[in-house]
Chains A and B, each alone.
Chain A
């Protein structure tokens, strides 16, 4: 294969920040040796090899020293089936080439009282929630292997070294392989758990490791939920009430009864978000064809006259009255009345869908005392409980087999398709059935849209153009529907915490600050969507701060620098003020800020740290975007310069780089074309011609990725920089054209200039 130099030539630039800044180099100079791949079953809920001894619930060691690691999170492309085992291997000191992985079993997790601590994957949590668990599991197993060898040789354990799957008695040079003592190790109880390694001791973590699933996926061996085939299986196509809140009134099976392959029509009431109807047939296409011909009457329900414009009107009306005020510092009114200049701007963001490429599907087989379920899910534990509740079975009789998943992005399963599949499977009395949604059904019933929202931002500027007051009013739906509202701030404001996210600790120092947060639930179900609440608030704030800089006639980087400098140290989580400045300086340097650009080109920025109202760590991210807009309004993204916090360590930079590049595409979608709108209570967009994700032609050719080193474990690396894409692009468009864009997608705006 080609040398590393060849590789680098093809990769988008992976640069490193340096020079006079207090930033450290991140990529080891010689990371050329990508380490050998491990093994994974194409059905990741099964082990690649049977047998071996369970040393602890995470680790099985075979007689041939093979180490099987059970992973408690779902791999949607972020690489946890590889990077989570790396965290164990780091401590276990086993031969990486003998490592295999598989998904931890949901049934056992639930049966044994959350054996694996957590079995869900969300909010960039794999390292944040898993690192200590995985390191501890590896360290514990290593010490037990050493203790087993000590017993075998009747020597003190301190005389034994563990390295590369071999135990060595240092004084005598005798050796045993892990596989030879695994059974004995499994029965050993340690007096106390060993300490885990600190980052400076890592030898595997931080290396560029090839992901186990890449070859399976490139050779199309990976089994996704949609690919599962069970003997005797039939197929169901389903349709839910088009309008949210509507319900199935009646249907007539007779016209489709004789169609080829048709088996049954099964109403599905009282499950999930929407009642609906399923047609079962011997192939999915036959089921879908019959479903399209099935006469169905819907009760329209209470929302059948409501459209997106009505909802925006309601939200915008909330901006005209005082709302719950979680942040209230100084005297905003006084500052406004004494202002040299007042800047006010309103921003608006529509609903978004995930549109993961694998349409929702779930295969189920239900008998009176057992349920087997196959699908790709971010929540196999919740799925187990949901199915048990619906079937009135105890959870120990429910077996969820987590499949490869064609994209998660926060939608990730345990949604309507699961509820439908078990309902239909129960009706079919033991016959396995695969429920598969059409794309139209998926976009119409995401079950968890990203919420729409609006904001009014007002600032009082002094004669030098610096803000003396900032006043923010936002209104929107909770991005985590079902989460209780919190009470926050001096007035105990009741609100959805994702709507406050990022404003609760305000990075721009201003003497008078007020934040009002209006939470209004609508009939559109909402939930996590890659970046969740940060997405909206970063768009509002990072657009507005550049608006202020321009109103003041100042350089937006220098303006931010002054404002961050003016903020009190306690305005930052984890004492991160210096890191904010470091990230800002880095993005300015890497994007070449200050260099002359031709007319029609411009540069824009955004910065954030991903903080949450309930603190759970931060990651400094900054983005510089350079665009060119033709006079007729055609947009080209010339470059994206990314600055990302790496904190103490990134487990597998090989996967992390790809996550970051992926986040650029995810962030581009809502900017360019994507928008979910409601008409008469139903989603208007039916397929990818109306909800159009970015294509290769939209993806910039010049992207630089630059890590900054900070002294923390970062919050994650799966969604941190998504929210920066929209404001950075809109700021760049302003710089290029003088047009301020305060809502996306851009397809609704005329960018032409003269």
Chain B
């Protein structure tokens, strides 16, 4: 039994200690917003926040997460006016949409730590793969989200 603190709630899950957080979220807890893309921390589709830092949940065994604050995309979208999500909609970012939960998680963490990132800082932080090629729209959305957040 592992106790996980996810989106402010404690979940006691009966899984092997080496099971990656991604699969606990998706298959054990039914939180399917976090996506599987590569299983090797290469694509970013499974990005969550661990104590506020963007991490790739496909490669995080749950045994290492006791006492950590885990935030998933479900917590972000629960706020219907979340500036990053609103910006994503306003900029009409998603195409197939599969990578976008991970993109939003990475962008949210970036803006939290750096409310006015430069173009270069955005490019350096956003290392999630998008096969549809929405990168220009994501850049626009991050800029819009930063402006929304600055307005408060």
Known contacts A77-B95, A214-B94, A697-B124; A687 and B38 CB within 8 A of each other: yes
Which B residues, 41 to 94, have Cβ-Cβ distances below 8 Å to chain A?
42-43, 45, 73-74, 77, 80, 85, 88-94
Docked CA distance A219–B96 (Å)? 13
Docked CA distance A662–B131 (Å)? 8
Docked CA distance A537–B91 (Å)? 35
The answer to whether B19 touches A285, judged by C-beta atoms less than 8 angstroms apart, is yes
Does A164 make an interface contact (CB < 8 A)? no
Docked CA distance A210–B91 (Å)? 10
Residue of B nearest to A702 (CB): B136
Chain B residues, CB < 8 A from A229: 30, 32
Q: What mask results when residues 91 to 115 of chain B are scored 1 for a CB within 8 Å of chain A, else 0?
A: 1111111111100100000000000
From A218, A356, A696, give the contact of B89 (CB < 8 A): A218
Residue of A nearest to B137 (CB): A658
Chain A residues, CB < 8 A from B77: 218-220
The answer to whether B39 touches A439, judged by C-beta atoms less than 8 angstroms apart, is yes
Docked CA distance A142–B97 (Å)? 34
From B16, B95, B98, give the contact of A662 (CB < 8 A): B95
Does A355 make an interface contact (CB < 8 A)? yes
The answer to whether B95 touches A2, judged by C-beta atoms less than 8 angstroms apart, is no
Most chain B CB within 10 A, of A235, A357, A689, is at A357
Q: What mask results when residues 635 to 677 of chain A are scored 1 for a CB within 8 Å of chain B, else 0?
A: 0000000000000000000100011011111100000000000
Chain B residues, CB < 8 A from A213: 94, 97
Does A293 make an interface contact (CB < 8 A)? no
Chain A residues, CB < 8 A from B16: 260, 286
The answer to whether B129 touches A688, judged by C-beta atoms less than 8 angstroms apart, is yes
Chain B residues, CB < 8 A from A216: 97
Known contacts A355-B131, A359-B36, A701-B119; A406 and B89 CB within 8 A of each other: no
Known contacts A219-B77, A695-B127, A697-B123; A407 and B96 CB within 8 A of each other: yes
Chain A residues, CB < 8 A from B116: none
Q: What mask results when residues 119 to 152 of chain B are scored 1 for a CB within 8 Å of chain A, else 0?
A: 1001110111111111111111001100100000
Docked CA distance A664–B135 (Å)? 10
Chain B residues, CB < 8 A from A439: 37-40, 43
Docked CA distance A299–B116 (Å)? 58
With both chains docked as a complex, state the minimum distance between the C-beta of A345 and any C-beta of chain B, in angstroms: 30
With both chains docked as a complex, state the minimum distance between the C-beta of B116 and any C-beta of chain A, in angstroms: 15
A interface size (C-beta, 8 A): 68
Known contacts A1-B90, A407-B96, A697-B123; A658 and B23 CB within 8 A of each other: no
With both chains docked as a complex, state the minimum distance between the C-beta of A193 and any C-beta of chain B, in angstroms: 35
The answer to whether B92 touches A689, judged by C-beta atoms less than 8 angstroms apart, is no
Docked CA distance A476–B35 (Å)? 37
Chain A residues, CB < 8 A from B137: 658, 661
The answer to whether A665 touches B130, judged by C-beta atoms less than 8 angstroms apart, is yes
The answer to whether A661 touches B136, judged by C-beta atoms less than 8 angstroms apart, is yes
The answer to whether A658 touches B134, judged by C-beta atoms less than 8 angstroms apart, is yes
Docked CA distance A284–B36 (Å)? 11
Does B33 make an interface contact (CB < 8 A)? yes
Does B10 make an interface contact (CB < 8 A)? no
The answer to whether A76 touches B96, judged by C-beta atoms less than 8 angstroms apart, is yes
Chain B residues, CB < 8 A from A222: 97
The answer to whether B23 touches A283, judged by C-beta atoms less than 8 angstroms apart, is yes
Residue of B nearest to A355 (CB): B131
Chain A residues, CB < 8 A from B138: 696
Does A630 make an interface contact (CB < 8 A)? no
The answer to whether A214 touches B89, judged by C-beta atoms less than 8 angstroms apart, is yes
Q: How large is the interface on B (under 10, 10 to 19, 20 to 34, 35 or more residues)?
A: 35 or more
Q: What mask results when residues 8 to 20 of chain B are scored 1 for a CB within 8 Å of chain A, else 0?
A: 0000000010011
Does A754 make an interface contact (CB < 8 A)? no
The answer to whether A218 touches B127, judged by C-beta atoms less than 8 angstroms apart, is no
Docked CA distance A409–B16 (Å)? 37
Chain B residues, CB < 8 A from A701: 119, 139
Chain A residues, CB < 8 A from B23: 283-285
The answer to whether B91 touches A10, judged by C-beta atoms less than 8 angstroms apart, is yes
Known contacts A285-B20, A355-B131, A654-B92; A235 and B98 CB within 8 A of each other: no
Chain B residues, CB < 8 A from A218: 77, 85, 88-89, 93-94, 97, 100, 104
Residue of B nearest to A284 (CB): B27
Chain B residues, CB < 8 A from A404: 96-97
Docked CA distance A349–B132 (Å)? 22
The answer to whether B135 touches A210, judged by C-beta atoms less than 8 angstroms apart, is no
Docked CA distance A658–B23 (Å)? 32
The answer to whether B134 touches A357, judged by C-beta atoms less than 8 angstroms apart, is no
Residue of A nearest to B14 (CB): A260
Docked CA distance A688–B129 (Å)? 9
Does A224 make an interface contact (CB < 8 A)? yes
With both chains docked as a complex, state the minimum distance between the C-beta of B152 and any C-beta of chain A, in angstroms: 15
The answer to whether B74 touches A357, judged by C-beta atoms less than 8 angstroms apart, is no
Which A residues, 430 to 450, have Cβ-Cβ distances below 8 Å to chain B?
436, 438-440
The answer to whether A406 touches B129, judged by C-beta atoms less than 8 angstroms apart, is no
From B33, B45, B91, B92, give the contact of A357 (CB < 8 A): B45
Which A residues, 216 to 249, have Cβ-Cβ distances below 8 Å to chain B?
216-220, 222-224, 226-227, 229, 235
The answer to whether B42 touches A689, judged by C-beta atoms less than 8 angstroms apart, is yes
Q: What mask results when residues 374 to 417 of chain A are scored 1 for a CB within 8 Å of chain B, else 0?
A: 00000000000000000000000000000011111100000000
The answer to whether A220 touches B73, judged by C-beta atoms less than 8 angstroms apart, is yes
Docked CA distance A100–B99 (Å)? 25
With both chains docked as a complex, state the minimum distance between the C-beta of B137 and any C-beta of chain A, in angstroms: 7
The answer to whether B92 touches A211, judged by C-beta atoms less than 8 angstroms apart, is yes
With both chains docked as a complex, state the minimum distance between the C-beta of B93 and any C-beta of chain A, in angstroms: 7
With both chains docked as a complex, state the minimum distance between the C-beta of B129 and any C-beta of chain A, in angstroms: 5
Does A12 make an interface contact (CB < 8 A)? yes
Which A residues, 68 to 88, have Cβ-Cβ distances below 8 Å to chain B?
76-78
With both chains docked as a complex, state the minimum distance between the C-beta of B58 and any C-beta of chain A, in angstroms: 10
From B36, B129, B139, B143, give the contact of A695 (CB < 8 A): B129
Which A residues, 276 to 302, have Cβ-Cβ distances below 8 Å to chain B?
283-286
Docked CA distance A496–B30 (Å)? 47
Chain A residues, CB < 8 A from B97: 77, 213-214, 216-218, 222, 404, 406
Residue of A nearest to B98 (CB): A406
Chain A residues, CB < 8 A from B80: 219
Docked CA distance A329–B121 (Å)? 56
From B40, B124, B136, give the contact of A689 (CB < 8 A): B40
Does A699 make an interface contact (CB < 8 A)? yes
Does A693 make an interface contact (CB < 8 A)? yes
Residue of A nearest to B119 (CB): A701
With both chains docked as a complex, state the minimum distance between the C-beta of B1 and any C-beta of chain A, in angstroms: 13
Known contacts A226-B36, A409-B131; A357 and B96 CB within 8 A of each other: yes
Known contacts A2-B144, A10-B140; A220 and B131 CB within 8 A of each other: no
Chain A residues, CB < 8 A from B74: 220
The answer to whether A2 touches B90, judged by C-beta atoms less than 8 angstroms apart, is yes
With both chains docked as a complex, state the minimum distance between the C-beta of B46 and any C-beta of chain A, in angstroms: 11
Residue of A nearest to B40 (CB): A687
Apart from the given pairs A214-B93, A226-B35, A687-B39, 17 other A-B contacts in the complex at a CB distance below 8 Å: A10-B143, A76-B96, A210-B92, A218-B93, A220-B33, A229-B30, A283-B23, A404-B97, A436-B36, A662-B133, A666-B131, A688-B40, A695-B127, A696-B123, A696-B138, A697-B127, A699-B135
Can you list 16 residue pairs at the A/B interface with Cβ under 8 Å? A10-B143, A76-B95, A77-B94, A218-B85, A219-B80, A220-B101, A286-B16, A357-B45, A439-B37, A659-B95, A689-B40, A693-B131, A694-B135, A697-B126, A699-B136, A701-B139
Closest 9 CB pairs of A and B: A665-B133, A77-B95, A406-B98, A217-B97, A662-B133, A220-B33, A285-B23, A77-B96, A217-B94
